[in-house]
Amino acid sequence: MNRVIFFIAFIILLIVPFSINSVNDDGVSYFEIVKKLKNEIISIVVKTEITSPNELVFNEEDRLLLNKKSKEFRIIEAKNLENLITIYASEATSNNKNINTYLAKFEWRSLKENEGGVKGIYLNGYDFTNSEKMDSISTILSETKVNTIVLDVKTDNGHILYDSNLQEVNELNNKRVKYDQSLLLEFKKEFNIYLIGRVVAFQDPYFAKNFKNSSVIDATTNSPYSQNGQYFLDPGDKKARDYVLNVAIEACSLGFDEIQFDYIRYPDTNKKDLNYQNENTYENRIENINSFLRFSRDILNGMGCLVSADIFGYVLQTKADNGIGQHLETIAETVDFISPMVYPSHYSKGSFGYQDPNNFPYEVVSAALNDGINRGIEEEKIRPFLQGFWHDTQDVQLNIKAAENKNLDWIIWNNSSQYEVEYFTKIES
């Protein structure tokens, strides 16, 4: 009889761990099935004829029932194991995303603590294969405190500068390959740099002309809206949003440390008769820009890339979205960093009390950044683009000084990738 009790106990102990809190496809608790199965097994054992102390004998009907219940148990066990694997996979994916996000932030934090943060220059992606310009860039990376490169991934012209596998890229034939993963990683390793991939978002002549339904439409011509040769995608259009994000995902996989979205806005125009999928209201503009950035950051952070957004300099001063969907407080919440373009030459006459703002780089950059800081934006989130064009060496140095005096990271912009070593403080030997 002890063997009988052991047999029952063994079955119960084997089944119960897989049954708690589990439900089958019909909504029936596995726990209830186990209880029923246990009672049936006990009933069978009680009816069994025992011919010797060491042997249990079952009739044919009992054998069939036990076989049936054994099969049911194996199905239950397999289903619970499958559920456990699914739960584990889900948790592993979540944990992996958290680890990647942590590592990405840790790398930036290490840069902040060890080198004073991001000190960067923009490298026009088309120049990555220009040996003369790359020699100059190499000298700057070797001899100055510059530790970051912003490199084009998707350009203002709508070109993709790596070998993309996206269906839209194949349809548009807009690849202009300048680098691959091995070249990027070699570049990063050689100069020990932080590498940011610039993705032009909602300004894309290729995509707008070929996917008209995804573009901003000029109702007067019933064609994609053009502004000084620029063509804008509708920030509320799913196909446009998916395309931009998928480019960013591929770029992150190539080895970039951060993805920087530029032209993350609506067209900067007062023109009427422009058609969008969503009514062109303040609320819709803010929602479309911020929801895209928020969703993108969640995915890209989980892959190990931080996310930043370029914004107009005057966004630091104005309380509204300026008709373009860039509202300072809300956009700052959706990304890891914002890069206001505080170029003195771009401010109108009289800005900050200066008749010619371009002649007062330190004062103008300082005043502009103060406005952002005074609105409660975390200083670590503000990483301005500074002017590296139409300025002499001293002017560029004053741009940098204005940012560093506020303990801010910075990036210098020059569309031609031309910089002087003298712009930057030399590394002490």
Residues 250, 366 share a domain: yes
**Structural domains counted in the chain:** 2
Residues 153, 44 share a domain: no
In tens, the pLDDT along 191-239 reads 999 999 999 999 999 999 999 999 999 999 999 999 999 999 999 999 9
In tens, the pLDDT along 319-370 reads 999 999 999 999 999 999 999 999 999 999 999 999 999 999 999 999 999 9
Percent of the chain with pLDDT over 70: 77
Q: Is residue 111 part of a domain?
A: no
Q: Is residue 105 part of a domain?
A: no
Residues 69, 164 share a domain: no
pLDDT of residue 94: 76
Residues 182, 85 share a domain: no
What value does the mean pLDDT take over residues 9-23? 45
Give 32 or 308, the one with higher predicted confidence.
308
Residues 215, 283 share a domain: yes
Can you give the CATH number for the domain in which 277 is found? 3.20.20.80
pLDDT of residue 83: 63
Q: Is residue 110 part of a domain?
A: no
- Reply yes or no on whether the pLDDT at 85 is more than 80: no
Residues 294, 146 share a domain: yes
Looking at 33, 55, 90, the residue that finishes a domain is 90
Residues 137, 47 share a domain: no
pLDDT of residue 77: 59
Q: How confident is the model at residue 9 (pLDDT cuts 50, 70, 90)?
A: very low
Range of the domain at 33: 2-90
Contacts 24+ apart (CB under 8 A), 31-39: 33/72, 33/76, 34/76, 37/11, 37/69, 37/72, 37/73, 38/8, 38/11, 38/12
* Mean of the per-residue pLDDT values of the chain: 87
Residues 268, 196 share a domain: yes
Residues 78, 123 share a domain: no
Closest alpha carbon to 336 in 296, 280, 394: 296
Q: How confident is the model at residue 167 (pLDDT cuts 50, 70, 90)?
A: very high
pLDDT of residue 3: 45
Q: Is residue 216 part of a domain?
A: yes
* 56 Cβ neighbours under 8 A, 6+ residues apart: 3, 4, 7, 45, 48, 50
Closest alpha carbon to 369 in 343, 333, 396: 343
Q: Is residue 104 part of a domain?
A: no
- Reply yes or no on whether the pLDDT at 128 is more than 80: yes
User: How far apart are alpha carbons 87 and 99 in whole angstroms?
Assistant: 18
Residues 205, 154 share a domain: yes
Q: Is residue 101 part of a domain?
A: no
Q: Is residue 249 part of a domain?
A: yes
Percent of the chain with pLDDT over 90: 74
Q: Is residue 98 part of a domain?
A: no
pLDDT of residue 298: 95
Residues 78, 143 share a domain: no
Residues 216, 347 share a domain: yes
Looking at 26, 55, 90, the residue that finishes a domain is 90
